[in-house]
Amino acid sequence: MGADDYAAFESIYAFNSSGQTDLAAILAYTKPVAYPPIFNGIQDVKSQLANDLRFTNLSDLSTEAGNVSKGNYVWAHLSFSNNATTLAKANAIMQEVFTDLPTKGKNYTFTNVFQPIPRSITSRSAATGGNVLGLNASENIVWTNFVSQFWEPEDEGTINAATARYIDRVNAYTKSVGQFQRSVYMGYAYPTQPVIEGYGRENVDLLREVSRRYDPQGVFQSLVPGGFKLGV
């Protein structure tokens, strides 16, 4: 596609327990240009089931994002180098792991949302002192938001176990081909994922120092329930 700092493209791959597979894309452009050349070819796809490209604002997008389907959800996050082969492998592993689940009479949906974090973003933070997320500024990265949707509460254990297998298999593959990235985004993470550790030792030490200085009583580390803690 080339490069354009005003453009963002997210690809989505989903399948459900009935065997249906869906592909989708999220296109964003932060200049008021209707058809930027960076998206040539994508917006010309003829077999589109839906298309809601428009000029809009953040409040409208927030309202749209809030209109999600009901049900139960399990999320997880994976990071690796932006490589087409690896994206395809992550989808293949997702389909292998979750196709093996007992699906008779069940309604499951499993989705990978691939969100690029390009060097055009991370290099800017590196030039101004770095970032506490520890993002690798030398490579184009993909953040993968994995989402499973299910309806029966008794299926939670099955979905959780399969999600853990999926995380392990994708991480094992990306490590084997030298494309693993340690960052785990807190907003997407599975509860057992090493979010804080993924920031890197230097950043964790900095965050702990800030916590001790500005929160000496440990309010945010011990009195606030849930979440990922610094361990101070």
Q: Encode pLDDT of 190-224 as tens digits.
A: 999 999 999 999 999 999 999 999 999 999 988 88
Q: Taking the model in full, what pTM does it have? A: 0.89
- Domains belonging to the chain, first-starting first, are 7-199 (3.40.462), 205-232 (no CATH)
What are the φ and ψ backbone dihedral angles of 25, each rounded to 5 degrees?
A: -140, 145
Which residues, other chains included, contact 38 with Cβ-Cβ below 8 Å and sequence gap of 6+? 1, 2, 4, 7, 29
Q: Encode pLDDT of 54-80 as tens digits.
A: 898 889 888 887 777 788 999 999 999
Give the Å distances, CA to CA, from 124 to 9, 58, 135. 19, 23, 11
Helices (H) and strands (E) in the chain, counts: 5, 5
Give the Å distances, CA to CA, from 188 to 107, 147, 184. 22, 9, 8
Sorting pLDDT into bands at 50, 70 and 90, what band is 2? low
